[in-house]
């Protein structure tokens, strides 16, 4: 196959895969188009079998980790964790929408960091809708917070986002080192988001609400919280001894899963459904298609655009490029494309990519799959999300939070001698 034809085929298939992931024609899972596309680039020789196998081997542990975390999050929901979070937010907000926004920011930031952005979008967003309705508060600022924080607050831990798992593997950092370097950028980015939200949604937050107490307040499920704490400790321990952290995630999912099955709060079929096998297949297939695009010229084209060096200016340039690319081709393909180009420059460049692909998607609907999923959930609750409003909010939050987060990363890298 000629190089020009292989390049055109791989790029065309990537576009088709991404468009179908956004539109989901006939309600099809993303994998329905992505898997045949991956088979086509391999079958036609647009990507060699060796490179396809190499990409599969690279993504295998990441996908296993993702599956375990998805199951863990669903089991936490089955045990009432998110329902209890909603009751806590309603109680502690005392009928004040401004305080409710603080509670949503706190809950969404922690849930995103510990249980991944999918938990915030799929499980917390409906709870926030219900909580706002109970209090008679306008839902818009709180619901918008869920989607923005599902992206921005996913900076902290390797388990918070699929892009983080990919970056961890490329950076050579341990779990704890990764978290230590990202904690300051995480706090800064969330702080900027909160400041902008308070001003942007001032009218909604001043509208008032009613304090409400339910007759029976659900308790936080202690066993679930202890299991999550043990899983986080397992992430640290496996990182120290050099074991794949996916084993710690699997252990946490098994503990909750066995307990839930014994109590008949779930079924094996429900656990398998929570693992979202079609989505895992989509991620793997997308990785192969993106690798075909990279092999057929994209790496050379972007290689000239990636800033060199280790200074603040280089980090800002890398993060900006990553943010733009995330909004053009979605943040997951952007991560797959940029990591091999930036990894030789060291962990700082890899983490700068991560800032761009995690914060940048708040600018457009197509920036991340999480945002697209959030939009569907919002529509299911009969709430309209205007493109203009979404974009204006993104223009106010993304540049400021990205620049300040990069500065914070630069400071952390110097402080830890990386």
Torsion angle defined by CA atoms of residues 402, 405, 407 and 408, in that order, rounded to the nearest 10 degrees = 180
Tell me the pLDDT tens digit for each residue of 95-145.
788 899 999 999 999 999 988 888 898 889 999 998 888 888 889 999 999
Q: What is the pLDDT at residue 108?
A: 95
CA distance 305 to 300: 9
Q: How far is CA 119 from the centre of its chain?
A: 9
CA distance 25 to 315: 38
CA distance 139 to 132: 5
Q: What is the pLDDT at residue 211?
A: 57
Which of 276, 366, 280, 382 is CA-nearest to residue 18? 366
User: How buried is residue 43: exposed, middle or buried, by Cβ count under 10 Å (0-12/13-18/19+)?
Assistant: exposed
User: Within 10 Å of residue 226's Cβ, how many Cβ atoms?
Assistant: 11
pLDDT (tens, 9 = 90+) of the chain, 418 residues, equals 677 888 889 989 988 988 887 777 877 888 899 999 999 999 999 999 999 999 898 888 888 888 888 898 889 988 888 888 888 888 888 778 889 999 999 999 999 998 888 889 888 999 999 888 888 888 999 999 999 999 999 999 988 988 998 899 899 898 899 999 999 999 999 999 999 999 999 999 987 666 555 545 677 899 999 999 999 898 888 877 878 888 888 999 999 999 999 998 899 999 999 888 988 898 899 889 988 988 887 777 777 788 887 899 999 999 999 999 999 888 888 898 899 899 999 999 999 999 999 999 999 887 887 887 788 788 777 777 788 899 999 999 999 999 999 999 999 999 998 8
Number of residues that make up the chain? 418
In the chain, what are the domain boundaries? 1-46+286-294
Q: What number of CA atoms fall less than 13 Å from residue 282's CA on the CB side?
A: 24
98 neighbors 318 (Cβ within 8 angstroms): no
Which of 275, 263, 79, 98 is CA-nearest to residue 194? 98
68 neighbors 165 (Cβ within 8 angstroms): no
SS3 for the chain, per residue?
A: CCHHHHHHHHHHHHHHHHHHHHHCHHHCCCHHHHHHHHHHHHHCCCCCHHHHHHHHHHHHHHHHHHHHHHHHHHHHHHCCHHHHHHHHHHHHHCCCHHHHHHHHHHHHHHHHHHHCHHHHHHHHHHHHHHHHHHHCCCCHHHHHHHHHHHHHHHHCCHHHCHHHHHHHHHHCCCHHHHHHHHHHHHHHHHHHHHHHHHHHCHHHHCCCCCCCCCCCCCCCCHHHHHHHHHHHHHHHHHHHHCCCCHHHHHHHHHHHHHHHHHCCCCCHHHHHHHCCHHHHHHHHHHHHHHHHHHHHHHHHHHHCCCCCCCCHHHHHHHHHHHHHHHHHHCHHHHHHHHHHHHHHHCHHHHHHHHHHHHHHHHHCHHHCHHHHHHHHHHHHCCCCCCHHHHHHHHHHHHHHHHHHHHHHHHHHHHHCCC
CA distance 321 to 307: 9
> Phi and psi of 157, rounded to 5°?
-115, 155
CA distance 25 to 310: 44
Tokens representing 57 are: 């081997």
Tell me the pLDDT tens digit for each residue of 189-246.
999 999 999 999 999 998 766 655 554 567 789 999 999 999 989 888 887 787 888 8
Torsion angle defined by CA atoms of residues 317, 406, 239 and 370, in that order, rounded to the nearest 10 degrees = -80
């Amino acid at each position: 196959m000629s190089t020009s034809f292989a390049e055109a085929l791989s790029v065309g298939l990537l576009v088709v895969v991404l468009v179908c992931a956004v539109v989901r024609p006939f309600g099809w899972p993303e994998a329905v188009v992505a898997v045949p596309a991956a088979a086509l680039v391999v079958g036609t020789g647009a990507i060699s079998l060796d490179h396809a196998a190499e990409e599969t081997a690279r993504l295998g542990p990441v996908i296993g980790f993702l599956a375990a975390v998805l199951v863990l999050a669903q089991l936490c929901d089955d045990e009432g964790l998110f329902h209890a979070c909603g009751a806590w937010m309603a109680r502690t907000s005392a009928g004040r929408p401004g305080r409710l926004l603080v509670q949503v920011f706190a809950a969404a930031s922690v849930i995103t960091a510990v249980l991944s952005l999918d938990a915030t979008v799929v499980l917390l967003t409906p709870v926030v809708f219900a909580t706002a309705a109970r209090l008679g508060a306008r839902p818009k600022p709180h619901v918008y917070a869920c989607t923005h924080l599902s992206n921005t607050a996913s900076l902290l831990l390797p388990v918070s986002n699929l892009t983080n798992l990919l970056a961890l593997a490329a950076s050579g950092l341990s779990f704890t080192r990764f978290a230590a370097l990202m904690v300051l950028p995480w706090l800064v980015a969330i702080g900027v988001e909160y400041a902008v939200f308070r001003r942007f949604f001032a009218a909604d937050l001043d509208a008032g609400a009613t304090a409400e107490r339910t007759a029976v307040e659900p308790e936080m499920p202690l066993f679930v919280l202890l299991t999550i704490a043990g899983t986080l400790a397992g992430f640290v321990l496996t990182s120290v001894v050099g074991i794949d952290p996916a084993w710690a995630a699997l252990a946490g999912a098994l503990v909750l899963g066995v307990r839930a099955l014994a109590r008949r709060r779930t079924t094996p079929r429900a656990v398998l459904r929570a693992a979202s096998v079609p989505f895992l297949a989509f991620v793997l297939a997308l990785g192969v298609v993106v690798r075909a695009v990279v092999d057929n010229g994209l790496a050379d084209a972007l290689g000239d655009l990636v800033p060199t060096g280790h200074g603040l200016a280089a980090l800002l340039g890398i993060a900006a490029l990553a943010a733009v690319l995330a909004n053009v081709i979605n943040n997951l393909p952007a991560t797959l494309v940029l990591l091999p180009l930036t990894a030789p420059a060291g962990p700082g460049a890899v983490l700068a990519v991560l800032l761009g692909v995690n914060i940048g998607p708040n600018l457009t609907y197509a920036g991340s799959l999480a945002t697209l999923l959030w939009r569907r959930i919002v529509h299911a609750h009969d709430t309209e999300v205007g493109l203009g409003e979404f974009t204006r909010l993104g223009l106010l939050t993304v540049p400021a939070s990205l620049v300040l987060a990069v500065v914070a990363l630069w400071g952390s890298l110097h402080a830890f001698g990386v």
